[in-house]
Structure 1
């Protein structure tokens, strides 16, 4: 746990960016870090206007390019940011990670790590031994920590199957309105499928070996990108999995759901009801575990802020990622070791390898190694 409020800069996340606002609110929730600089738009004028709107008073620390920010902020000595947050389109991530790593900044990057696996590997090389957190924020939920602990302790027995679903419906046009298309031509596999893949891997520890994918584009639009993915997964240990990622599922909001099955029982968690985890063990009553209770593992308890019965959600999970990352930044500065519990660049590489295998499988109609 950090004992001081750190300083951070942000690239992207400007006017109209809801994810940029989510990052800023998550950082403010625990007083983890305060914003001291930023490049919020490729337009210097818009960047300046938005930075002032956010309360930055030193106009010289509001920039019109990421390169300018990295160069100037690195020269500020004890006043420079402790880390920099990237909230830009995926196509910008490689260049910006490389710029910041070259200047020695720890980085928080919104997922995915990069646009392609090849770019992800370049980013990993550029990062070297530097710190990077990838905001697969669902790993920050308290009941996901509990699910991971139960799997690790063997409460489910030998793992057999994982089912993870992430259906959304926002691409489906409202009556009388034109259809929407995924921003920047990003497929639903990259947008939400990477979250599903990471969540399954985080909780179970299983690594995908090969995939078989059926992919569709149900919603017309330009650019026309895949918006519905149904993927069969074979894991390294022989377990089986099913991953569904869709943004054309009419009526759905943000229904991320994970089910894990073992020889002795199963777990069931839904992001839209994140404060509960259902456990079903053989020959026992169904158990509903609740966030904030003393019977949970230490990791789950430490992720809670409010008493039981007071719902916590998305921003708290996001803040948990940042709290862990800030502790790692401070530990690195003090020359001490700290167990990392946030998604890293290596997680980003694993997700991009999964996406690439899914794409190849959809093209060839065959099983493809990850």
Structure 2
């Protein structure tokens, strides 16, 4: 289902970008993109078209030709190859890094050292050690660095969090998060299967950890990973096709148990029917209610939140496409998670306080949690690409 959602959001973002293109202000943030990854159009290029304060002014690839082709396709003024040429461009204020996971740390350091603010695609880095390194550098340079967990910027996420934090239904008892993609929907040639690029299902589908920590919070890392089982790839036993784990968090003196499941090669029903209905979802059980958030990753396409009240035995359903407890009257129903994220990033670059933000300490804790799961599973934590070549 994850790949279906991704393709749908590509189309949606393209259509809305054409209908809502905004004139650019004279002081617009000039943003460059490192890599020509497919995600770029939905994650940054099309969202920027409707933002008057952001211009995608350059894109870089290892080699110049792919950058030139992508620049021509999307109307980006400049193309560079290799990446260093873009970072050396004084007219670039910030960069979006969508390189393979194992290269995030290396190129974030180079971008920060070049004086650029960084919107860094998830997962933050290959592991927690590398996360601490780039956070330290960002703080030293006084530059904006944020992990692109776009889903957390959407009003639907804030609405669910507000319900939990209100205390109306008591404390969180347990959670269960799932994200899958049908077998064959991610080709085996895809970089997400490459160990040397810090690939694996938990790295790519790290949303299951992010959503768990966000709704259980405020917490940092789990007290323990009680169980973790990887289904290794038949092509590389170091890479997880799937990962299931049980995390135990200490929350205000209580233990909350959270189950996570990621699967980049989810078996078809009867070997024939892809499980396209399995959108990324999380169930949160509280003392007096059970909340189910369907499609938390891309709620702008479609989502619903059901609340089963244990006391009344009634179920209510909610949907939240704009507004909410953090954005208020700001935003539009057609804004994607990526568009909300860009709004927040632009404000941070301008020295303002965004309605929602992902703190650097949270990104370190996210990678610490992922490391703990990989270690418990026996696969071992992922390593940066430059340290393996």
Smaller-chain TM-score range?
Answer: 0.7 to 0.9
Task: Give 2:340's aligned residue.
Answer: 320
Partner Cα distance (2:242, 2:186) in 1: 15
Task: Give 2:209's aligned residue.
Answer: 197
Structure 2 matches for 1:238-317, cutoff 5 A?
A: 238-250=255-267, 251-253=274-276, 255-271=279-295, 274-284=302-312, 285-292=314-321, 297-299=324-326, 302=329, 305-306=332-333, 316-317=336-337
Partner Cα distance (1:205, 1:217) in 2: 28
Check the 8 A contact 2:232/2:239 in 1, yes or no.
no
Task: Give 2:7's aligned residue.
Answer: none
Task: Give 2:384's aligned residue.
Answer: none
- How far apart are 1:291 and its partner, in Å? 2.1
One of 220, 224, 230 as aligned partner of 2:244:
230
Structure 2 matches for 1:91-170, cutoff 5 A?
A: 91-128=102-139, 129-170=142-183
Q: Which runs of 5+ in 1 are unaligned?
A: 74-79, 307-311, 366-370
How has the CA–CA distance of structure 1 residues 292 and 257 changed in structure 2, closer, same or farther, with 3 Å as cutoff? closer
One of 365, 370, 376 as aligned partner of 1:350:
365
SS of the aligned residue for 1:113 comes to coil
Check the 8 A contact 2:232/2:238 in 1, yes or no.
no
How has the CA–CA distance of structure 1 residues 81 and 172 changed in structure 2, closer, same or farther, with 3 Å as cutoff? closer
Partner Cα distance (1:65, 1:289) in 2: 47
Partner Cα distance (2:48, 2:234) in 1: 37
Task: Give 1:81's aligned residue.
Answer: 92
- How far apart are 1:269 and its partner, in Å? 0.6
Partner Cα distance (1:68, 1:172) in 2: 35
How has the CA–CA distance of structure 1 residues 362 and 219 changed in structure 2, closer, same or farther, with 3 Å as cutoff? closer
Normalised by the length of structure 2, the TM-score is 0.77
Task: Give 2:33's aligned residue.
Answer: 10
SS of the aligned residue for 1:328 comes to helix
- How far apart are 1:111 and its partner, in Å? 0.6
Check the 8 A contact 2:33/2:59 in 1, yes or no.
yes
SS of the aligned residue for 1:101 comes to helix
- How far apart are 1:297 and its partner, in Å? 3.6
Task: Give 2:68's aligned residue.
Answer: 48
Count, aligned residues: 332
Q: Is 1:359 the counterpart of 2:341 in the alignment? A: no
Check the 8 A contact 2:326/2:355 in 1, yes or no.
no
Deviates more, 1:202-211 or 1:229-238: 202-211
| Cα RMSD after superposing both structures | 2.8
Partner Cα distance (2:228, 2:68) in 1: 45
Check the 8 A contact 2:194/2:239 in 1, yes or no.
no
Check the 8 A contact 2:212/2:258 in 1, yes or no.
no
How has the CA–CA distance of structure 1 residues 265 and 117 changed in structure 2, closer, same or farther, with 3 Å as cutoff? same
Check the 8 A contact 1:292/1:304 in 2, yes or no.
no
One of 81, 87, 90 as aligned partner of 1:64:
81
SS of the aligned residue for 2:279 comes to coil
How has the CA–CA distance of structure 1 residues 202 and 27 changed in structure 2, closer, same or farther, with 3 Å as cutoff? farther
How has the CA–CA distance of structure 1 residues 290 and 301 changed in structure 2, closer, same or farther, with 3 Å as cutoff? farther
Partner Cα distance (2:48, 2:186) in 1: 34
How has the CA–CA distance of structure 1 residues 83 and 170 changed in structure 2, closer, same or farther, with 3 Å as cutoff? farther
Check the 8 A contact 2:186/2:265 in 1, yes or no.
no
- How far apart are 1:204 and its partner, in Å? 3.1
Spell out, residue by residue over 1:320-341, the C-alpha distance to the aligned partner (whole angstroms, 9 max, x if none).
Answer: 11111111212x1xxxx51561
Check the 8 A contact 2:194/2:200 in 1, yes or no.
no
SS of the aligned residue for 1:361 comes to helix
Normalised by the length of structure 1, the TM-score is 0.80
